[in-house]
Structure 1
Amino acid sequence: MDHDYALGPDPTVVDLVLEENASLREEVRLLRQQIESLTLTQRFGIHRFAASDKDIRFFTRFASYDLLMRFWALIEPSLPSMVSVRQAQRGTLTESTTAHSLQPINELFLFLNYLALGSKQQDLADRYRIHQSTVSRIIMSWSNFLYTVLGSVRIRIPQEQIRKNLPADFKDFPDTTVILDCTELRCQCPSSPVLQSEVFSSYKSHCTLKGLIGIVPHGAVTFVSSLYAGSVSDKQITRECGLLTLLKPGMAVMADRGFLIDDMVPCKIYRPAFLSGRSQMSACEVKETQDIARLRVHVERLIRRVKEHKLFDSEIPLRLFGSINQLYTVACLLTNYENGPLVKAWAKKPED
């Protein structure tokens, strides 16, 4: 009887074991779900910071998660036409069947991290757990994509629309169509003395790249020039950048004292007055100069918003010269989507 192997197990015991086994399987399944959910939450990407507008502002320069999602909704329909760097290198425009390392929205988030924080590619590779070469391809692909998509949007505003939305501060200059200013980005000095002389800026006492930005009185960017060598004058950039073809009689340009473009533009220019050898200006000229200086500062506020993208805080390395024009233009155009009005008081104005 001690070795009677023909006897079967007690059915009650079998049922208990099976129930325990099923219970353990369910616990394992729930534990896996919790781990996957925790991993998704902790993984570096846009969904990790969706609940914090402060974090979104820090990592992307967009004022809120809602604004970023509105921008995403605008560009998402164009994603099928996006050509990656790898596709361009292979000479094919067909959609790649290779799985992406990141979701498209997280690729955009990575690109915005690069612009907003000036993050190094190795740092981004560690954060997103991808190869550094993949980070480089994502940055290049998205800079070209956004340069094309945002560049295809008509940012020039009709003169009638500008006057309709003219802030009250511009009541003495109602025909102002565009406010102009140039900005400079510090860049690495080339080894060639000839190239050094071309990009050296006497104003900054450093090698720079210079671009012209134009905004309408209510603060929207309506013109972005290409970047030029730092030695080029403001007048020369204005002549070559294509802005003059957009100006018509009846318009007015507001600019700084150094924009001596009277002989080139077909319209009026509002500019602080020169003493021109006189001992003092008249009371009328003083008031007009003060008013123009107070209003012209809005374009400097816009430029400050562009340079809040920390990529432009440090010297632009020579290796980025092939793509810096796209990166700079995208940063300028993004200011139309990232922020509210330049002046908070304008946001309180009731809508018509």
Structure 2
Amino acid sequence: MYPIQHRSMAQSSRRCYCSVPFCSNNKQKFPYLSFHDFPVDGEIRARWVRAIRRDEGPSFKILRGSTFVCSQHFPPEDRYTSASGRIRIKQGSVPSRFHWNDWGGGSQARESVYQRARKRLGVAVLDDSDHEMPDSTEGALPAVTNDHDYACRPSPGKLDSATQRIRELELQVLSLEIEIQHLTVKKQHPLLFNFCVTDEDYRYYTRFSSKEVFTVFWDSVYPSASRLVYWSKAQQTAHVTPSPHRKLPLIDELFMFLCRVAAGLQEKTLSTIFEVSLSTVSRIILTWTSYLYQVLGSLPVWMTREQVQATMPDKFKLYCPQGESYSRLHRDPLCETPSSLSLQSETFSSYKNHTTFKGLIGVAPCGVITFVSKLYTGSISDMEITRKCQILHLLQPGDELMADKGFLIERMLSEVGATLVIPPLKKSPQLSREDTLKTQAIARLRILVERAIRRVKEYHIWDGLVPLSTVGSVNQLWAICCLMSNYQGPLDIKGDKPV
């Protein structure tokens, strides 16, 4: 017996703590215990680490003079008292008494099932090495089959039924896997392609002239649309963050919005078609309304004088050489009657005999909508809406502007150097040839403008009354419908056919 080389340090210290898990012994609480450093020998130290079940890491470092194991974890035979009165442990000793092994009492091997069964039946357990088994089977004890019957061979009938049950479960699992795969493929396949197959389908559901035009539009908005923030998410945070997990493919979200705006489908119907909740439909439509308003509103749709000249039909060049646009007051859409009398008086239009909104649209001679004002209450005057919409700031000296016969804006145009083009006055019983051709050209331009406005009115969201609950986004929807109508192609002066 030799004393261990790592003597107990800090026997007189008051700051010794045991590093064994579930042990809170320290020198201050238990001064009669001894605390021992980890051995210097690497092999014995590794045995100590394995014994206490605590590997070294960021939260546990073995340091000389500060990492100890108390004497409570060593059996009495591994401890002895030195001549100086200090408790030491023998060379090569390893701690073995812990909380998880009942302080060394749980180290005995557990009795076998056979031994426990013999004891329960009151039969002495015989040691095979000391007693010879008789050749005769007479007097043999009955087999104990109550415990662990899985050790016995099952009957053939049970095997057959178990095999049949396993086959049934395997077929059920296979059927469910096929169903899951089918649903996954169905979920990943955009619903758009189920509804829109031909160009006519695209015109009905989306108001785009063809699949090709829709694809071009989708490819242009997809890079930014993939980072959309849902409307409800934008309410909770002030900074832009990636949107949460989507219920639908992104292209189906755009298709849902177009079905609501272009085809006029109600949100309840969309909820059934896309198999999402009504709140999800509302959130998607509000999000895409705000997004497309920002995207389309950032496009420079106002045409320069050079662009107007390059796209102007030949007949218009003869009589409106500097024509910039045709201004038209549009008195749609109708809205629900508010309960407030003051709001009723503001939104009531004597022209429509209903509460309505007013908006100003500018159309280039080629039929493209180049200006969209916001919507105003129906009681506002024509001159006031022309002044407030700031279309006059876009005109340059020398520009020519045509307006509806109810627009008395000639003086306002003269202030910015522009001219109002009106049909020539009849000074004689019969107009001259030149005046007749000019009148016809102006009339055709007005027809072209009517067709451009009709395209906007064909967005079926304006078929009924605008609910007061959507008044907050009605300006955005109005601008989107006007600007997206340009994607239907240019208007032919002889008919409403894209060329």
Tell me the TM-score normalised to structure 2 length.
Answer: 0.60
Q: Which moved more, 1:64-73 or 1:188-197?
A: 188-197
Looking at structure 1, the residues matched to 178 and 460 of structure 2 have their Cα atoms a distance apart, in angstroms, of 41
Aligned residues of 2:448 and 2:493 also touching (Cα < 8 A): no
* The one of 272, 277, 282 aligned to 1:126: 272
Aligned residues of 2:227 and 2:242 also touching (Cα < 8 A): no
* The one of 283, 298, 321 aligned to 2:448: 298
Cα distance change of structure 1 residues 239 and 281 upon mapping to structure 2, 3 Å threshold: farther
Q: Deviation string for 1:69-126 (max 9, x for gaps)?
A: 1001111122255332122210243434631111111101000001012221111111
SS in 2 for 1:186: coil
Q: How does 1:327-346 map to 2 (within 5 A)?
A: 327-337=477-487, 339-343=488-492
Looking at structure 2, the residues matched to 280 and 197 of structure 1 have their Cα atoms a distance apart, in angstroms, of 45
Looking at structure 2, the residues matched to 202 and 285 of structure 1 have their Cα atoms a distance apart, in angstroms, of 35
SS in 2 for 1:263: helix
The answer to whether the aligner puts 1:246 opposite 2:381 as a matched pair is: no
SS in 1 for 2:412: coil
* The one of 326, 340, 350 aligned to 1:192: 340
Q: How does 1:223-242 map to 2 (within 5 A)?
A: 223-242=371-390
Looking at structure 1, the residues matched to 465 and 375 of structure 2 have their Cα atoms a distance apart, in angstroms, of 15
- Give 1:217 shift: 0.9
* The one of 401, 404, 408 aligned to 1:256: 404
Q: Which moved more, 1:213-222 or 1:72-81?
A: 72-81
* The one of 326, 332, 350 aligned to 2:476: 326
Cα distance change of structure 1 residues 166 and 252 upon mapping to structure 2, 3 Å threshold: same
Looking at structure 2, the residues matched to 203 and 97 of structure 1 have their Cα atoms a distance apart, in angstroms, of 45
Partner of 1:79: 225
Q: Deviation string for 1:179-207 (max 9, x for gaps)?
A: 11111211111122221121111111111
Q: Which moved more, 1:70-79 or 1:284-293?
A: 284-293
- Give 1:274 shift: 6.5
* The one of 181, 195, 198 aligned to 2:328: 181
SS in 1 for 2:301: coil
Cα distance change of structure 1 residues 267 and 344 upon mapping to structure 2, 3 Å threshold: closer
The answer to whether the aligner puts 1:49 opposite 2:192 as a matched pair is: no
Partner of 2:29: none
Q: Deviation string for 1:19-39 (max 9, x for gaps)?
A: x99xx89x9699559844884
SS in 1 for 2:491: coil
**Bigger Cα Rg:** 2
Q: How does 1:1-352 map to 2 (within 5 A)?
A: 32=179, 35-36=182-183, 39=186, 45-96=191-242, 98-172=244-318, 173-184=320-331, 185-265=333-413, 266-272=417-423, 282-283=431-432, 288-337=438-487, 339-343=488-492
- Give 1:55 shift: 1.5
Q: Deviation string for 1:256-304 (max 9, x for gaps)?
A: 21111111112111123577xx897854656533431221221111110
Relative contact order (alpha carbons < 8 A, sep ≥ 6): 1 or 2 greater?
A: 1
Partner of 2:16: none
Looking at structure 2, the residues matched to 298 and 334 of structure 1 have their Cα atoms a distance apart, in angstroms, of 17
Looking at structure 2, the residues matched to 88 and 143 of structure 1 have their Cα atoms a distance apart, in angstroms, of 14
Cα distance change of structure 1 residues 28 and 189 upon mapping to structure 2, 3 Å threshold: closer
Tell me the TM-score normalised to structure 1 length.
Answer: 0.83
Identical residues among aligned pairs (%): 40
Structure 1: tracts of 5 or more residues without a match: 6-19
Looking at structure 2, the residues matched to 279 and 262 of structure 1 have their Cα atoms a distance apart, in angstroms, of 24
Structure 2: tracts of 5 or more residues without a match: 1-152, 154-166
Looking at structure 2, the residues matched to 272 and 314 of structure 1 have their Cα atoms a distance apart, in angstroms, of 35
Aligned residues of 1:83 and 1:145 also touching (Cα < 8 A): no
Aligned residues of 1:256 and 1:271 also touching (Cα < 8 A): no
Aligned residues of 2:260 and 2:461 also touching (Cα < 8 A): yes
The aligned length equals: 329
Looking at structure 2, the residues matched to 288 and 301 of structure 1 have their Cα atoms a distance apart, in angstroms, of 20
SS in 2 for 1:118: coil
More helix as a share of residues: 1
SS in 1 for 2:355: strand
Looking at structure 2, the residues matched to 336 and 64 of structure 1 have their Cα atoms a distance apart, in angstroms, of 13
SS in 2 for 1:232: coil
Q: CA RMSD in A?
A: 3.1
